[in-house]
């Protein structure tokens, strides 16, 4: 799939861990740990162009001017509940980031996103937002989440998932062509239940052991 706004993170470490997560025999514990590690690695790419600020530090030898990330300007927005797994990994490398939550569930019949929770930090118009959800499948949740966030006029919005498929990418890009997608894989297709094939199953159930 040729699109400049889709960033496929194909680093061997990322691909290796994703392959381990796909294995249906992976335990809840190892699935969660791998997701955490993957999220840390992906953050490296996703934050490549993040704004920095000048600071002065004193080394043991002398003073110098250098740069740091202003984590408070970054907001990680987790789409509940599966976003939590990615969020934890990202926060471990950018601990100063603010966090927002959007509660959405998929109506099992229509597959449409239904919102039940929305809590964001103040002054969103000053912040860069990174929305996280492991699976970009039909795109309905991601599209609804980004629509809600745009009401708050943040400076920028990126979307991060582990896995997507052509249908999800197309839907998201049609609705929000301005939002770059970062993913570790674009799988073959969606099935009739809105699951990605070959995929990794239900990310929420696998990370929380609820099935
Ligand atoms: N959500 C999941 O957890 N898995 C899929 O394959 C699609 C949506």
The Å distance, Cα 149 to ligand 1 centre, comes to 22
User: Model confidence over 162-173: pLDDT tens digits?
Assistant: 999 999 999 999
Query: Domain map of the chain by residue range?
Result: 6-48+72-208
H helices of the chain, where? 12-22, 28-46, 83-93, 140-150, 166-175, 203-208
Identify the band that residue 70 occupies on the pLDDT scale cut at 50, 70 and 90: confident
Ligand 1 pocket check: which of 35, 196, 205, 211 to mutate, most ligand atoms within 8 Å of Cβ? 196
Q: What is the pLDDT of residue 66?
A: 98
Instruction: Give the pLDDT mean for 35-45.
Output: 96
Task: Domain 6-48+72-208: state its class.
Answer: alpha beta
Contacts of 181 (CB under 8 A, 6+ apart): 5, 6, 7, 136, 158, 159, 160, 161, 164, 169, 172, 173
Closest CA to 159 of 172, 171, 148: 172
What is residue 174's predicted lDDT score, i.e. its pLDDT? 96
pLDDT band at 177; cut points 50, 70, 90: very high
CB 5 within 8 A of CB 58: no
- The single residue of 28, 70, 106, 148 carrying the catalytic annotation is 106
Rounded average pLDDT over 58-81: 94
pLDDT band at 3 (very low <50, low <70, confident <90, very high): low
Rounded Cα distance between 52 and 172, Å, is 29
Q: How many residues does the chain have?
A: 211
């Amino acid at each position: 799939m040729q699109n400049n706004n889709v960033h496929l993170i194909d680093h061997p470490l990322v691909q290796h861990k994703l392959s381990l997560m796909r294995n249906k025999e992976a335990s809840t514990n190892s699935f969660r740990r791998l997701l955490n590690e993957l999220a840390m690695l992906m953050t490296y790419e996703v934050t490549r162009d993040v704004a920095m600020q000048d600071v002065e530090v004193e080394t043991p030898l002398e003073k110098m001017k250098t740069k740091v990330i202003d984590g408070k300007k970054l907001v990680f927005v987790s789409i509940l509940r599966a976003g939590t797994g990615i969020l934890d990994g990202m926060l471990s490398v950018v601990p100063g980031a603010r966090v927002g939550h959007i509660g959405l569930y998929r109506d099992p019949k229509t597959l449409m996103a239904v919102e039940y929770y929305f809590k964001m930090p103040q002054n969103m118009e000053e912040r860069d937002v990174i929305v996280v959800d492991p699976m970009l499948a039909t795109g309905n949740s991601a599209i609804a989440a980004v629509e809600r966030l745009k009401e708050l006029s943040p400076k920028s919005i990126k979307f991060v998932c582990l896995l997507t498929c052509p249908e999800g990418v197309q839907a998201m890009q049609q609705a929000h062509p301005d939002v770059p997608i970062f993913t570790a894989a674009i799988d073959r297709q969606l099935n009739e239940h809105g699951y990605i094939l070959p995929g990794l199953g239900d990310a929420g159930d696998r990370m929380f052991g609820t099935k």
